[in-house]
Amino acid sequence: MGFLTAEEKGLVNGLWGKVNVDEVGGEALGRLLVVYPWTQRFFQSFGDLSSADAIMGNSKVKAHGKKVLNSFSDGLKNIDDLKGAFAKLSELHCDKLHVDPENFRLLGNVLVCVLAHHFGHEFNPQVQAAFQKVVAGVANALAHKYH
């Protein structure tokens, strides 16, 4: 068995196929900045982050969220080798961006909340559990090259 069971892969891909990756990306990054305001430290150049409304409507936040989630989505295509898939990005986040990997865990959980928000009952405990494995795997992969 790889990282996910066949059943879990089915649950993840089944839901992910219905996700508007661009929109969900902006939503997830926005909520990260609202719920955990210290994460704004990486985005000083993004302009107005002074309120929840300002953050959620901020075009730079939306654009960056879109970028991040498209990258996550690409990673899902290599679910059995997340460390390989995210090796370069891991180096980037350590050496150039200096992002504490704890932030990947926070974003992963916010993403789970956003999926729950969009999909309601369809995001049942089994689907959530599969996604928790995925976000933990991606967070670990992104942290893997840190030194």
Partner 1 sequence: MVLSAADKSNVKACWGKIGSHAGEYGAEALERTFCSFPTTKTYFPHFDLSHGSAQVKAHGQKVADALTQAVAHMDDLPNALSALSDLHAYKLRVDPVNFKFLSHCLLVTLACHHPAEFTPAVHASLDKFFSAVSTVLTSKYR
Which residues of this protein are in contact with partner 1, per CB under 8 A? 30-31, 34-35, 52, 55-56, 109, 112-114, 116-121, 123, 125-126, 128-129, 132
CB of 120 to partner 1, least distance (A): 5
Nearer to partner 1, 35 or 97 (CB): 35
Task: Give the three-state DSSP class for 67.
Answer: helix
CB of 84 to partner 1, least distance (A): 25
CA distance 134 to 65: 18
Q: What are 37's two structure tokens?
A: 């305001």
Nearer to partner 1, 6 or 147 (CB): 6
CB of 85 to partner 1, least distance (A): 23
Q: DSSP letters of 81-124? A: GHHHHTHHHHHIIIIIS---THHHHHHHHHHHHHHHHHHGGGS-
Q: Are the beta carbons of 69 and 108 closer than 8 angstroms? A: no
CB of 147 to partner 1, least distance (A): 26
Nearer to partner 1, 92 or 113 (CB): 113
Nearer to partner 1, 90 or 104 (CB): 104
Q: Which letter, b or e, does each residue of 98-108 get, where b requires 16 or more Cβ atoms within 10 Å of its Cβ?
A: ebebebbbbbb
